[in-house]
Amino acid sequence: MTNLEVNEVTEKPTDVPLLEIRDITKTFGSVISLFEISTMVRAGQVTCVLGDNGAGKSTFIKVLSGVYQPDHGQLLVDGVPVRFHTPRDALDAGIATVFQDLAMVPLMAIWRNFFLGSEPTKGWGPFRRFDAATAKRITRTEMGEMGIDIRDPDQPVGTLSGGERQSVAIARAVHFGARLLILDEPTSALGVKQAGVVLKYIVQARDRGLGVIFITHNPHHAYPVGDRFLLLKRGRSLGDFAKSEISLPELTRLMAGGAELEQLAHELERDEDGTGGVGRELLQDTETLG
Amino acid sequence: MTAATATADERVAHVGALRRVLLKPEFGALIGAVIIFVFFAAQSDVFRSMSGAANWLDVSSTLGLMAVPVALLMIGGHFDLSAGVQTGTAGLATGIMTTYWGLQLYASWAVSLLLMLVIGFINGFLVTRTGLPSFIITLGMFLGLQGLNLGVTKQVTNTVQVENLDLVPGYHSLFNILGSTFTLGHAKFQIAIIWWIGFTAIASWLLLKTRFGNWIFATGGDPTASKNVGVRTDRTTISLFMMTSAMAWFVGNTQIARSGTIQAQVGIGQELYFIVAAVIGGCLLTGGYGSAIGASLGALIFGMTQVGIINVNWNSDWFKLFVGVMLLLAVLANQYVRRFAEQVRR
């Protein structure tokens, strides 16, 4: 698509963030899923959203992608307040979400999945049809751009491996324009090597000038690629840091909930049988993390 | 990378050819249809004659016309148990409006279409709004319409049938469109066979070549995922129910156009055969997979069997047993094919 050189653009300072999130609150009945969450993402940068299970990460994404509407707070795209009523509204604003379940239909061919919901058409009036040739060609080239060779675009998505599916989903989002890519735990179900591949895609998307919101519970995946880190815990923000304000050990410590981890280490150490070793190791870990 | 690409592509070309044919959902039904045809044609010269063909194609077309939209609906993830009884509703509506209420034929034809579209919309709307299984919603519609058909017919005509449509002005033009025959090799073929082939072609084109078709597969395959990428799943579902009802209108009016008479209980029980034809044609009960051509082949198998058993002088009581066995074989074959399709490569 574009040369990497072209994207030096990202070095020019842009004052208006691509997406700014201001004090978003979302409740379901009496459950407060998100409470006054704020962060932002700029073009050509990666904002990581970190949190353990139940931290509100999924709700957060669903608010950004138009699945849920926030009860309070504002979303600003290019500095302009917006309201997304449906996922389509978010897509139209250039926000594409790669959901954890990847939003792909296993029994359908790769190229059909790639263009699902945004099919290119040709022909006129009642003879308007899905332009399959174009769809297959674009699927193949877009996947190629990400460094993935798909053997056969007619293959059902169900036959692909986890990492491959992830790459189809990311390539799809990038192709559809997305100026902002939201990735929901793209590395969580993957092995070490495959996770590395996905991180590479994130960097590639960033270098193309896209803004990326990367949701994960693994600080080791987040820190190398992230420019900004939002930490969530039980629906509340533990902080929203630029990379210069936080180090990997600090991030890990905050993530793990420092004191709780120490407590756990001591509990494990008290055990006389085989688990003692685990406790000691964990304790050492927490000490080195500070 | 390039070396890997080359070998990978070679492998696809190698395995692909056979697998691609096997993976067509209608493949099993095609084989089945050929076997059934050869089986009966070898034993009966009536079956293989032109008039024999006209006979079993007639039975197949009546079933096949409905099996096609029912298959699309199944691919979209839903059933319509009221599809059979709806054909009766449509025919009765046209009949009563013309012969008893004196409405002009084509006007009542149009009103009957409108009525059917409303019924289809109600089915689709209730299914999408409540999230209840379409099985239960359309079962309600089935029972309701069954009562309505009988109740209204008895109320208006004091009998259980509507007759004398053939005395209504304009009947002959309607007859020409829906109920007439054409001659081919000294045998009279029903015009409905042409309609059946035409609608199958349109449905297949719609399913495989259009955006709407892509949305049908997606809605049946994974509604949540589809919705998240911007597919209007509710609209797709409602459209499918309305298409089924529109076809019920066509089939019901064909029934009354042929003889000018229609019974109040017509179509009842047919809904299951539509589903059987669709399943024999490769549709998965869980949605997301299937074919319009397959459903028509399923109907063809059905029609050939029903007529063939009579042609070879078997007791027709055995027909249902045959259909049951066919259905089970088809479901097993589909299961196997799907596993083959989803099998991780290598």
- How much is the pLDDT for B17? 64
- Are residues B1 and A119, on separate chains, in Cβ contact within 8 Å? no
* 3-class secondary-structure state, position A131: coil
Q: Would residue A195 count as lying in a domain? A: yes
* Domain ranges (residues) in chain B: 25-339
**Closest CA of chain A from B211, distance in Å:** 5
Q: For B214, which of A106, A116, A147 is closest by C-beta distance?
A: A116
Specify if A89 maps to a domain.
yes
pLDDT of residue B129: 95
Determine the angle formed by the axes of helices B211-221 and B233-259, rounding to 10 degrees: 110
Minimal CA separation from B302 to chain A, in Å: 28
Counting residues of chain B whose pLDDT is more than 70, the rounded percentage is: 91
pLDDT value at B246 more than 90: yes
Region of poorest pLDDT, from A85-89, A248-252, B8-12, B150-154:
B8-12
pLDDT in tens, A244-270: 888 888 888 887 765 566 676 677 766
Assigned CATH for B25-339: 1.10.3470
B77 touches chain A (CB under 8 A): no
Which residues in A lie closer than 8 A to residue B224 (C-beta atoms)? 101, 103
Question: Which of residues 100 through 139 in chain A touch B, CB cutoff 8 A?
Answer: 101-108, 112, 115-119, 121, 128-130, 132
- Give contacts of A64 with chain B, Cβ < 8 Å: none
Q: Which SS3 state, helix, strand or coil, does residue A182 take?
A: strand
Q: Does residue B213 sit at the A interface (CB-CB below 8 Å)?
A: yes
Query: Which string of DSSP letters, residue by residue, matches B254-279?
Result: HHHHHHS-EETTTTTTHHHHHHHHHH
Domain count, chain A: 2
Q: Determine whether the interchain pair B345/A99 forms a contact, defined as Cβ–Cβ distance below 8 Å.
A: no
The model's pTM: 0.79
On whether any CB of chain B is under 8 Å from the CB of A290, the answer is: no
CA–CA distance, B228 with B224 (Å, rounded to integer): 6
> Which residues 47-106 on chain A approach chain B with CB closer than 8 angstroms?
65, 67, 86-88, 91, 97, 99, 101-106
Domain that holds residue A235: 5-247
Q: Is A252 part of a structural domain of the chain?
A: no
In a domain, residue A228? The reply is yes
Quick one: A130 and A218 in the same domain? yes
Per the structure block, which two tokens stand in for B85? 């009884």
Q: Distance (Å) from the C-alpha of residue B289 to the closest C-alpha of chain A?
A: 7
Indicate if the pLDDT at residue B11 is higher than 50: no
Of A20-34, A108-122, A139-153, the range with the lowest mean pLDDT is A139-153
- Say if residues A34 and A72 touch (Cβ distance below 8 Å): no
Q: What is the CATH number of the domain that holds A233?
A: 3.40.50.300
> Quick one: A239 and A272 in the same domain?
no
Same domain for A91 and A190: yes
> pLDDT tens digits, residue range B30-46?
888 999 999 999 999 99
